[in-house]
A and B are shown apart, each in its own frame.
Chain A
């Protein structure tokens, strides 16, 4: 009897392991499948409700984290406080306007987005729990015109691109994900390179393969390059802000052809994002 039980357990274990490998082999690199679309359709509304209901609790926990973080930056922030105070009066008025403008313009970045795109605003409803994956799920999908490879931005800059879609939701692979590679350029030098992640540290991206003859400096801005070659073109339109150069030692530039970039978008704390749907990609 005991042996029979052991044999059954081993059989279940082997079946599930083999099943996992088979599923992984079948579904890897094939985007969303029927099962995922079905589950996502059922759970998307529940996730949206849960997301809204748990927001106060999340904000409370994040407030503690941000408070701890802020204590360490107290001295630097004091010097910035004076400047911020001057801006705060204007900001309060701008904030009120912002709420209305956001509805009216649907986060249109006033010229940063080239014509031909139809921005779709979405909210982050889930994000990957492990430190190895950098992707989020948003509550807009193919029903709203979102397609795979559409660029995703927020108010600060580039966030990532759509890697899979279902009817009511889409998976966004962030620029900090190991699979991400975005062609970028440093302005005003126009030094081009590829923005690669530094896995595990979403606050640090690497602009790789730059021209070592032109020296990039700390504080310079990196935007999307948005290249086009005959019938194919980049997934990302040109001139979307990506980040700011934080470390650009000459040795690293000449030896490894790379500099470090801090993304403008806070990839750990995303809420509202905008999918640039309807682009004319070849």
Chain B
């Protein structure tokens, strides 16, 4: 990703808007009694567009802001989201995204990974309560919601960050019409 002050401003706006939208909207709606989780989808899409570095930094920033606004111990959400962003970025660097199904499928898989990660962090910090089997259903449903949200968010971010994307610039250069002699 080519970073300019303008692109940096856009990235900050994406992170802030994403967290605010999650807390004020997505966390407070329920479909089949489960709230969609936009933030892993946002971080994964950033990783898919910009690579590991973008994924990791976005994941860390989103996590810190989320923990600050929820007054949670800092670092837990960051750790999980930066891991999701890193894995998405790694996929982008190692493989080609051939099919339109790849981003939503990755969003689904890595969102489930992130939800399990949040659970692992909780266990690490000491959970002293019974865990209902319904939590598995909730995690899977969050994965399905991530699949649905994945494609529009990926496309939206790609549009917003187009000037900074290395691949898109290369494609645009190759598509430039040949100069015909006068």
Contact = CB atoms under 8 A, between A and B. Distances in A.
Contact of A131 (B52, B57, B82, B139): B139
Interface in B61-79: 63-76, 78-79
A199 B135 contact: yes
Interface stretch (A56-64, A78-86, A99-107): A56-64
Question: SS class of chain B's interface: helix, strand, loop or mixed?
Answer: helix
Contact of A13 (B22, B56, B135): B56
B174 interface: no
Contacts of A201: 132, 134-135
Contact of B53 (A9, A27, A135): A9
A91 B36 CA distance: 34
A264 interface: no
A43 B19 CA distance: 11
A88 interface: no
A56 B23 CA distance: 15
Interface in B101-129: 115, 118-119, 121-122, 125, 127-129
Contacts of B32: 65, 68
B132 A204 contact: yes
A125 interface: yes
A126 B24 contact: yes
A257 to B, nearest CB: 14
Interface string A34-45: 011001100100
B175 interface: no
Contact of B138 (A28, A51, A131): A131
A137 B68 CA distance: 11
A54 B25 contact: yes
28 contacts: A9-B53, A16-B82, A19-B60, A20-B63, A21-B75, A23-B74, A27-B73, A29-B73, A32-B71, A35-B74, A43-B69, A65-B32, A68-B32, A126-B23, A129-B39, A129-B66, A130-B118, A131-B118, A131-B139, A131-B142, A132-B118, A132-B135, A133-B118, A166-B71, A178-B127, A199-B135, A200-B134, A268-B33
Query: Nearest 6 A-B pairs (CB), nearest first?
Result: A200-B135, A23-B75, A24-B75, A126-B23, A201-B132, A39-B68
Interface of A: 9, 12-13, 16-17, 19-33, 35-36, 39-40, 43, 46-47, 50-51, 54, 57-58, 61-62, 64-65, 68-69, 124-133, 135, 137, 163-164, 166, 169-171, 178-179, 196-201, 204, 206, 268-269
